[in-house]
Structure 1
Amino acid sequence: MQQIKLAIIYYSSTGANYQLSQWAAEAAREAGAEVKVLKVAELAPQAAIDSNPLWKEHAEATKDVPTATNDDLDWADAIIFSAPTRYGNLPAQMKQFLDGTGGLWSQGKLVNKVVSAMATAQNPHGGQEMTVQALYTTMHHWGAIIASPGYTDPVLFGAGGNPYGTSASVDNGKIKEDVQGAVKHQTRRTLTIAGYIKAGMGQGQNG
């Protein structure tokens, strides 16, 4: 099977979704994928960031993480998104990034990308599922292939059992549940499906 190119694109204010992205990257590299970990551009004013010590600390710690662009989407065979919920929806930073993909979409370059998503909130029922599904709505418009984890491994139950994508509750930037195994399973599943799609497209081009 050809090497899969995976873009892990996240937004994180205090570090939880950055941590989820790091676990995903670790699993992907273990599986032999070529990996990019990328953040979406920050839209909040510096004053807001500076007013929150955790936010300010995380922004400084990750200042060298590359910012995601449409070229990264074009490059990738598979994409894993990770973002906190904002009132049960996507944060503006992630929505802004997605809203900027119209050029690729109009050229059909997002069709058959294999995508999956993760989310966090302050509380276990704080909107994570809605946030993941809001992102998947955009993916349907792309014509992407959604690789949700479902209940394909027992590790998912220990992480809260979210079938749409790994989710976690966060306190002061720290993830409360043990979700590392679920993140890694979701990543491997995404890569497996991307491998099937890439192999099938290659056969179609050569057949």
Structure 2
Amino acid sequence: MMMSVLMLSPTNVSGYTNGIETGDIMDIEYEGRYADTLEIFDSNRVDFTIRMGEGALIEGFYKGLLGLKVGDSTEIDVPADEGYTEANAPTPELANRALVFNVKIHAIVEDINPGNDDESSGNLSGTIGTVLKVIGFLVVSVLVIIGIYGLRSKAISADCVHCASMGRKHVTAEGKCSKCGLAYCRASFSRRCPNCKGNSFIPN
């Protein structure tokens, strides 16, 4: 076939009263000829299902189909500059030649969701982005909690620096000096920090 094909069963295609528009799906019967020799280069005698879209058909054929309705039979003249080029011609003979298509429209299905694929893709991307942000926030929160718990556990299990300096090992610190941050048991801190003389003790 010379055109992009979307295979649908005939039961999926029903007629409607509007003319053909971009995005519509249609069943057509067609015959393509060279305009200068009238030689047939392609034809289809049974229902042929295609979707209308810019780029899916050669420009002249696409323009000629727009607005046609179910039951219409017409001849579409395609000038050479709106036909096949050397880049997209199925055969070299079709490139840069004027063409004639005899077409009959059997059925049309309206595109009820134009642009829906792009919208769905955008919505999906947005949803994925939101989920990733939430997951990232939860991971960071857990790491912060683990870090705080680890620091607190370390502070609780630390030895009193004053007792350690006096040779009394493994005397667990009960808090720290608010000024210099060194860990002390309550007995060592007493009223002042032995290191900086600060007088504020923060319990664990």
Query: Which TM-score band applies after superposition, normalised by the shorter structure?
Result: under 0.3
Higher RCO, Cα 8 Å, sep 6+: 1
Which is helix-richer, 1 or 2?
1
Q: Which has more radius of gyration?
A: 2
Relative to the length of structure 1, the TM-score reads 0.19
Relative to the length of structure 2, the TM-score reads 0.19
